Chain A
């Protein structure tokens, strides 16, 4: 929505009323096709982390390695299968152990929304199987008068002594806009439901962002943005090592042009550059007899250019993506006798990825109440491993360079009949293996305790997808059922290699990434809401997923039957919320991939807030408790079955003007 907002601001000044109407319409279309989450806060908690916010979505689940930087799974698929972008910019983590998903490099006070698209509908940003998650940054619109706005939020969470301060400030005028944000979070170790301390679960995060926009003409604007994020001394209780320092610098410059007439309504082009560095630390773990340095770097530059088209009942988005990424990760092991020579290898041997894609989404309003969407993308993916000799150890003679063509197609039909709406769709798409899957070298996975070896010759993963939804809505209630099914050919997963011996101290063997003939993933979600009284609202959600490999064995990290239900009561300036969420027993777990059965759990949360105004300043006070009953539990996706946080009392205070 970034450009949407910017767009509106410019539009307020547009002289042609006809253009104003049309462009507003364009915006609507964009909004309809995007299944965006509205505000970065959940009903329970107003000061959430990006992870907590994402967790409230029905098609997102998480792999958790600690209290920080959760890996988002979209449609029960890991991050290799989805494209995660910040305002359409590709950023790649620098950690071979996935300690730094892209979501860890932003903060809730510099985001406006998170746009989640399921399956091939998400191919606008690049080739994908699971879909796309686009983190949209805040950007204040131009205003006719000079205006300042801002917010400051602080809070304390008792369980892990998390103290946070988030501030953001904007200035806007007719020609010029400045957005800035800054945040600090500091947390100690958390305590589980048995009141035991979970050591190595602390974290420290600093994030700041700045954005400048300048209106170059009534219909065009330039904008430069930068985010700087730094996390240090972050514990990962489920891993044998922690994070010493992780830094990211994410920059972009964009130019947007609006058109009053013609087919093209908006054209927005952005160039970007981002650099991520990541340094792990295993010196704080006494169980490590061996010390090892594992630094990683990921540098990406790219271009994203998009246009919105509209004529009559037809509207479309076209997007061109191009990026170049260089991923480097090193392993340096220290012998017990430190005077002796260290041992060195690359876990990512300077792997370059160049990717270009052209994607288009088209929609036709066939009638008042039906719409057809048709989209496609064509991508080109190129990889080069500079020190290919590392890859040759397991794949002798494999080419140093590899090119792939990644096509994608999707179609859907939406129908509204009175208060009911229905949709059905299908998709087809390819994705290329990730850097680790293709070129990883002895990457230690502490979940199954294997060292993983990439395979540059892996085939493209090919997804065939079908989805459908049906819903009913009136003033009093709403109910919606959504389901999707993926049949994925050449599904990439690690398989035990009978040859080779492990390199990492704690590993038990070597696994190579290989392609299963196919895998099948089925997701279903049921959402309902009911307004019991004018100020008493109920919401519920039920999700279920099932995933199998080509031998009908279970795939790992698939969410069991789970539920979320909440009541929200408002009285004058008070609000009270209570929610219950949990998973049923994980019946379809995968021992083959290192999983054991996770028992059922149920968590009760409550919170209350009070809001009032002092002059132009709105103040909200909130206090609440998560896991009120102090249940001891871990979820199906908790790496190494580490227990989750026990009872956590949180308080926060927010000023905004």
Chain B
């Protein structure tokens, strides 16, 4: 009897093990998406007696939206100092020598609680042979102004959930939409955050020494609406969509917040229609809502693809 039981146990154990392994759901999402939540130094500049440190997530500037934290300290102290009139300007130089910037916060205001200057930059391209990026920073301490420029490297954003798009609206203005959150979506209700920016056409030719900020002016658009229709573009998914999504509207942080529901992992297209403060469509088209298995989903003329 006892022998029989001892014989049975290993037999049981061997048939108990599963034929196919269960999916590790957390690892499944991590496979495509790496989430960064630590700010590290991405650029460091020494000027006169001061040290400037610019921090970004993962210590890297990526194409798309980058939240930055600028810190100024005395060269020999680690104490962060407040300074009035800090300006921040990213400039991109093309192979032909032409220059442009990208959406960014120009005048930085010190955050006394966290002891840094918060800002952002929406880099529109990656550094390469045709494109180089520099940061122009200036600040004034003790009535003495300091200016410096620093070359940086903008890397490719591999996380498609932080994609961006650039387009010209029906009002002939140049717009930028950059995804800010979620970095790592879930099969769930996700808060979708995006920045919407426009380029302010200069009204007068450049003046003074380079750079003339009036030539590189961008602003966060106010009170626009970004209508959302998420769909899975894959033909096999037949234009599958989700429910309970909310259009993006501007909140106090200047960014646009809405809700997107992802019903499964994979490729999704965020189809948008952008309306101005008067409800006029500036860009985007309605997408078909029928279930069309075997046919690739039709996209709006304004869309961003994501993947998780």
Residues of A within 8 A of B (CB): 176, 210, 212, 214, 224, 226, 228, 245, 247, 249, 251, 275, 277, 279, 289-290, 295, 297, 328, 330-336, 340-346, 387, 389-390, 392-394, 396, 442, 499-503, 505-509
- 25 CB contacts below 8 A, A to B, read A212-B1, A212-B4, A226-B8, A228-B15, A247-B19, A277-B19, A290-B293, A331-B264, A335-B236, A340-B267, A341-B32, A341-B266, A342-B266, A343-B234, A344-B266, A345-B187, A345-B263, A345-B264, A389-B189, A390-B187, A394-B243, A501-B241, A501-B291, A507-B291, A509-B291
Distance of A278 Cα from B164 Cα, bound (Å): 42
1/0 per residue, CB under 8 A from A, across B1-21: the answer is 100110010001001101110
- 4 further A-B pairs in the complex, CB-CB below 8 A; given A277-B18, A344-B265, A505-B294: A226-B8, A277-B20, A342-B265, A343-B266
B206 interfacial contact with A, CB 8 Å: no
B23 interfacial contact with A, CB 8 Å: yes
B283 interfacial contact with A, CB 8 Å: no
Distance of A541 Cα from B294 Cα, bound (Å): 50
Closest chain B residue to A222, Cβ basis: B1
Closest chain B residue to A344, Cβ basis: B265
B242 interfacial contact with A, CB 8 Å: yes
Closest chain A residue to B2, Cβ basis: A214
Contact of B188 among A289, A336, A341, A392 (CB under 8 A): A392
Interface extent on B, as a size class?
A: 35 or more
Known interface pairs A297-B22, A387-B25; A506-B8 also in contact (CB < 8 Å): no
1/0 per residue, CB under 8 A from A, across B232-250: the answer is 1011111111111000000
B307 interfacial contact with A, CB 8 Å: yes
B28 interfacial contact with A, CB 8 Å: yes
Distance of A340 Cα from B238 Cα, bound (Å): 17
B51 interfacial contact with A, CB 8 Å: no
Residues in B neighbouring A508, C-beta threshold 8 A: 291
Distance of A503 Cα from B291 Cα, bound (Å): 9
B186 interfacial contact with A, CB 8 Å: yes
B261 interfacial contact with A, CB 8 Å: yes
Distance of A107 Cα from B42 Cα, bound (Å): 68
Closest chain B residue to A388, Cβ basis: B188
Contact of A330 among B23, B242, B261 (CB under 8 A): B23
Distance of A332 Cα from B8 Cα, bound (Å): 35
B189 A251 Cβ-Cβ under 8 A: no
Distance of A277 Cα from B23 Cα, bound (Å): 14
B20 A295 Cβ-Cβ under 8 A: yes
A47 to chain B, nearest CB (A): 27
A390 B23 Cβ-Cβ under 8 A: no
Residues in A neighbouring B244, C-beta threshold 8 A: 393, 396
Distance of A101 Cα from B188 Cα, bound (Å): 31
Contact of B187 among A295, A332, A389 (CB under 8 A): A389
B267 A341 Cβ-Cβ under 8 A: yes
6 nearest A-B pairs in the assembled complex, by CB-CB distance: A343-B266, A389-B188, A345-B264, A290-B236, A344-B265, A499-B243
Residues in B neighbouring A344, C-beta threshold 8 A: 23, 28, 187, 264-266
Contact of B239 among A251, A345, A389, A501 (CB under 8 A): A501
Distance of A508 Cα from B290 Cα, bound (Å): 10
Closest chain A residue to B265, Cβ basis: A344
B19 A245 Cβ-Cβ under 8 A: yes
Known interface pairs A336-B236, A389-B189; A275-B16 also in contact (CB < 8 Å): yes
Residues in A neighbouring B237, C-beta threshold 8 A: 333, 343, 503
Closest chain A residue to B259, Cβ basis: A396
Known interface pairs A333-B236, A506-B293; A214-B242 also in contact (CB < 8 Å): no
Residues in A neighbouring B240, C-beta threshold 8 A: 501-503
B235 A247 Cβ-Cβ under 8 A: no
Contact of B234 among A210, A245, A336, A501 (CB under 8 A): A336
Contact of B266 among A247, A275, A333, A509 (CB under 8 A): A333
Closest chain A residue to B238, Cβ basis: A505
Distance of A176 Cα from B2 Cα, bound (Å): 12
1/0 per residue, CB under 8 A from A, across B261-277: the answer is 10111110000000000
Residues in B neighbouring A500, C-beta threshold 8 A: 241-243
A332 B19 Cβ-Cβ under 8 A: no
Residues in B neighbouring A330, C-beta threshold 8 A: 22-23
Distance of A261 Cα from B15 Cα, bound (Å): 43
Residues in B neighbouring A332, C-beta threshold 8 A: 23
Residues in B neighbouring A442, C-beta threshold 8 A: 263
Residues in A neighbouring B15, C-beta threshold 8 A: 228, 247, 249
Distance of A342 Cα from B20 Cα, bound (Å): 17
Residues in B neighbouring A289, C-beta threshold 8 A: 235-236, 293-294
Residues in B neighbouring A277, C-beta threshold 8 A: 18-20
A327 to chain B, nearest CB (A): 12
Distance of A510 Cα from B263 Cα, bound (Å): 13
B307 A341 Cβ-Cβ under 8 A: yes
B188 A214 Cβ-Cβ under 8 A: no
Distance of A295 Cα from B19 Cα, bound (Å): 10
Residues in B neighbouring A394, C-beta threshold 8 A: 243
B189 A396 Cβ-Cβ under 8 A: yes
Residues in B neighbouring A393, C-beta threshold 8 A: 187-189, 242-244, 261, 263
Residues in A neighbouring B242, C-beta threshold 8 A: 393, 500-501
B263 A505 Cβ-Cβ under 8 A: no
Known interface pairs A297-B22, A389-B187; A226-B12 also in contact (CB < 8 Å): yes
1/0 per residue, CB under 8 A from A, across B186-197: the answer is 111100000000
B266 to chain A, nearest CB (A): 3
Closest chain A residue to B31, Cβ basis: A341
A427 to chain B, nearest CB (A): 39
Distance of A558 Cα from B238 Cα, bound (Å): 34
Interface residues in B23-51 by Cβ distance below 8 A to A read 23, 25, 28, 32
A356 to chain B, nearest CB (A): 25
Distance of A210 Cα from B11 Cα, bound (Å): 12
Closest chain B residue to A249, Cβ basis: B15
Residues in B neighbouring A251, C-beta threshold 8 A: 12
Residues in A neighbouring B263, C-beta threshold 8 A: 345, 393, 442, 503
B236 A224 Cβ-Cβ under 8 A: no
Contact of A343 among B4, B265, B289 (CB under 8 A): B265
Contact of A502 among B4, B23, B238, B243 (CB under 8 A): B238
B31 to chain A, nearest CB (A): 9
Distance of A505 Cα from B237 Cα, bound (Å): 7
Distance of A390 Cα from B18 Cα, bound (Å): 24
A279 B19 Cβ-Cβ under 8 A: yes
Distance of A330 Cα from B294 Cα, bound (Å): 22
B20 A279 Cβ-Cβ under 8 A: yes
B291 A502 Cβ-Cβ under 8 A: yes
Distance of A254 Cα from B207 Cα, bound (Å): 93
Closest chain B residue to A389, Cβ basis: B188
Residues in B neighbouring A396, C-beta threshold 8 A: 189, 244
B284 to chain A, nearest CB (A): 20
Distance of A103 Cα from B178 Cα, bound (Å): 56
Residues in A neighbouring B1, C-beta threshold 8 A: 176, 212, 214
Distance of A214 Cα from B265 Cα, bound (Å): 53
A343 B232 Cβ-Cβ under 8 A: yes
Distance of A547 Cα from B22 Cα, bound (Å): 41
Distance of A442 Cα from B8 Cα, bound (Å): 40
Distance of A332 Cα from B24 Cα, bound (Å): 13
A505 B32 Cβ-Cβ under 8 A: no
Closest chain A residue to B234, Cβ basis: A335
A522 to chain B, nearest CB (A): 38
Contact of B293 among A214, A228, A297, A505 (CB under 8 A): A505
Distance of A284 Cα from B186 Cα, bound (Å): 32
Closest chain A residue to B23, Cβ basis: A330
Residues in B neighbouring A279, C-beta threshold 8 A: 19-20
Residues in A neighbouring B20, C-beta threshold 8 A: 277, 279, 295
Residues in A neighbouring B261, C-beta threshold 8 A: 393
